[in-house]
Chain A
Amino acid sequence: MEKQKWVRLDNASNIFLAAKNDVDTKVFRLSAELEDAINPRHLQRALDRVYEQYALYHSVLRRGIFWYYLEESELKPVVRRETKPPCAPIYHFDRKELLFRVLYHKNRVHLEVFHALSDGTGALWFFEDLISEYVSFNYLKPNKTGKSSDQKRITNQSEDSFARYFRKSRQKNFTKAALSALEKVYLDREVSKEINTNKLEPHADDTTNELESNRGKNKKNQHIYRIKGTRTPDNRMRVIELELSLKKIIELAKQYNVSLTVYLIALYIVAIYRTKEEKKSKTTVTISVPVNLRQFFPSNSARNFFTTTHLAITFENERELDLIEICQVISRQLKAQTSREYLEKRVDRFISFELNPFIRVTVRPLKDLILKVINLSNNRNVTVAMSNLGKVSFPSEVTSYVQGIYFHTSAIRPQFCMVSHEDCLTLSFTTPFIETDIQKKFVELLTEQSIEVIVGTNRVTKEELERKIK
């Protein structure tokens, strides 16, 4: 038997295992809506082919005394009809299963991934290739040799397809593909240090120090709003998808002179504050926003590689802030927390955590416990969360068959995720609660400005389900 390969799970991914519970499964979902009902046989063929290319997705998660580790498995993924609520648990202790699943329902394909395996950006690569393969099997008649899109892409000569092919070829070796992104950054640095030892002296940077301390200060002596609600009867998530025109909404954001992300965060904060029942004299709404570190530290690792920014708006004396004020504050905070220096410091800190000998020899259950406590205390300081996956692009032949891309994650608190494809921007709100006040307010804020919104929701309460079954 060939020697089985395994890779230790980094601390950044460990947090998802520690934070995972019955409500927040730490699973996220990418969906694509195509023209016709999905053909499961073609989808399976597409999956088989893409699966071969991505060794990381062969992983199963095992538990050691000091670490969790990813182990290469011989399992084969099977596409299934969607029969469980969105983002149902993927990883179970003691069960040897792949850490992702591919589902279909009517004209939609879903990829659900356990967050300890990969982050949104990493999973998107797999997803893009899966959908491209499916479209080429199902619509573009594949040439008889069976070699379809890979080669097409290369002959297409577009820079993107080259990049993708390059990326893909690096995902085939399990140990390389499964290595944590941080470890790669660290190893690269070690190499460059050897080449160029006297290059960079770390210099004191006052602004980042200040920011770091502000992050801490925010948490004290402030009343951070935590949204409460009625849990759904069987812990399933409420998902509310909004579809909008990307162009129109960008125009709106431009009027406020901020990016689309900032504009939508600001709208969300307004919706949250307006739906808050009792307004205290001083309330802080905080939002946690992940930042993809690959933009700053080039990496083709599909493993988790992000940090989160923590944005806060304080409402005083029941005075509601203008949208424009909120936009500016958020924009400023986001800029500060995504500056190169600031992020470099954070990455350094992550690496030092990974290398810390005391953390290394801590037994896993204790690590889990510590991470659980850290996660709980972090949760206390977060009102909501949002995540922007950006623009999804497919090879030109594939694009026309894709009607929309959707992205959402399991959530312990109301949250929204956004992704766009062509002119279709989709925002997916997820919440563990039945109530939809915030989302309703958010939609109203958009329709007030004559933006057309299409809403798709799942059924979570007994009444909603009974009405449908009847």
Chain B
Amino acid sequence: MKQCIQCHAKVKGDWDLCPLCQVSLAEQKENAEENPGPFPVIPLRFNREKVTKLLSLVSVLVILTYFVIQWFWSFQIFGLDYVLYGIMSMWMVVLIIIRKRRNITKGIVYLIIFLSVISLYFDYLNGWSAWSITYSIPIICTSALIAMFLAIQVVRLDTKDYILYLQAAALLGFIPLVFLLLGWTTHPLPSWISFLISTIMFWSVIVLHGKEILKTLRKIVDV
């Protein structure tokens, strides 16, 4: 084993400098095979940074593009705030996908809520034409339920891991009906479709997995 002349410690492994004092150990010849050191050499990982870099780059490019287009176009299409909201949504969606990547159904529920709130907000900003509750929210709910149904078929998941989220999504799908009954919508069809799909999903889950739901619920709300 090499020995450091400064701290006098014997050093395990093939180090050129003493890991504590940075004093050179290179003169001491040693067979690296005989003394490999207790730790494997593990390369650095930079994943998180990569995602952040990529998203930042895309964000900057989008803003630049907006200004370039504005430069050539003589009239304004929409304000920069829209672009910024778009970028924020992109970050949020990526964040949700990354955070919830291990439970697809949960990720989808989060996305339903996030996207619905965003479209409500934009509708409000644009002087409320009710397009969000007439079209976008029912469509988001319907397509999310279908997506969830498909995801469950494709990815192997334990019933009790997805069941509550599936049910939550089905319940969210009932909300457009409330809008419809309150007379807030301008066209009834999307809300009816959402209600229909949700009803089918909700009751088939209750019939097929009712016991499982009760058990999971009891465990989750244990005080």
Chain A residues with a Cβ under 8 A of chain B: 6, 8, 33, 62, 64-67, 69, 71, 82-86, 92-96, 105-106, 108, 233-234, 236, 239-242, 360-361, 406, 436, 439-440, 443-444, 447, 452-459, 462, 464-465, 467-469
Contacts and interface: CB of A to CB of B under 8 A. Distances in A.
Interface centre among B20, B37, B106, B161 (most CB of A within 10 A): B20
Contacts of B154: none
B220 to A, nearest CB: 4
A66 B19 CA distance: 47
Interface in B22-52: 36-46
Given A95-B102, A240-B20, A440-B21, A456 B13 contact: yes
A402 B212 CA distance: 48
Given A67-B222, A454-B1, A469 B41 contact: yes
B9 to A, nearest CB: 4
Contacts of B9: 242, 443, 447, 453-455
B7 A440 contact: yes
B156 interface: no
Nearest to A439: B20
A260 to B, nearest CB: 20
Nearest to A92: B102
Contacts of A86: 39
Interface centre among B15, B38, B161, B223 (most CB of A within 10 A): B38
B10 interface: yes
A82 B19 contact: no
B103 interface: yes
Contacts of A62: 219
B221 interface: yes
A62 B15 CA distance: 44
B99 to A, nearest CB: 8
A457 B39 contact: yes
Contacts of B10: 452-455
Contacts of A459: 39, 41-42
B16 A108 contact: no
Nearest to A22: B48
A94 B41 contact: no
* Chain A binding surface, main DSSP class: mixed
A95 B9 CA distance: 43
18 contacts: A8-B222, A62-B219, A69-B222, A240-B19, A440-B20, A440-B21, A443-B9, A443-B20, A454-B10, A455-B11, A456-B13, A456-B39, A457-B19, A457-B20, A458-B39, A465-B42, A465-B43, A469-B43
Contact of A64 (B37, B38, B103, B219): B219
Given A443-B9, A455-B19, A108 B38 contact: yes
B189 to A, nearest CB: 36
Given A241-B12, A447-B7, A453-B10, 7 more contacts: A84-B42, A440-B20, A454-B12, A456-B11, A456-B13, A456-B38, A468-B41
A360 B14 CA distance: 54
Nearest to A455: B9
B153 to A, nearest CB: 20
Nearest to B221: A65
B20 A64 contact: no
A85 B42 contact: yes
A233 B44 contact: yes
Contacts of B36: 106
Interface centre among A67, A94, A106, A469 (most CB of B within 10 A): A94
Nearest to B12: A456
Contacts of B45: 234
Interface string B142-157: 0000000000000000
A62 B102 CA distance: 13
B40 A82 contact: yes
A234 B20 contact: no
B222 A455 contact: no
Contact of B219 (A69, A239, A444, A458): A69
Interface in B171-223: 219-223
Contact of A456 (B37, B106, B219): B37
A60 B100 CA distance: 18
Contacts of B38: 33, 105-106, 108, 241, 406, 456
B42 A444 contact: no
A465 B43 CA distance: 7
A164 B100 CA distance: 42
A293 B1 CA distance: 40
Contacts of A406: 38
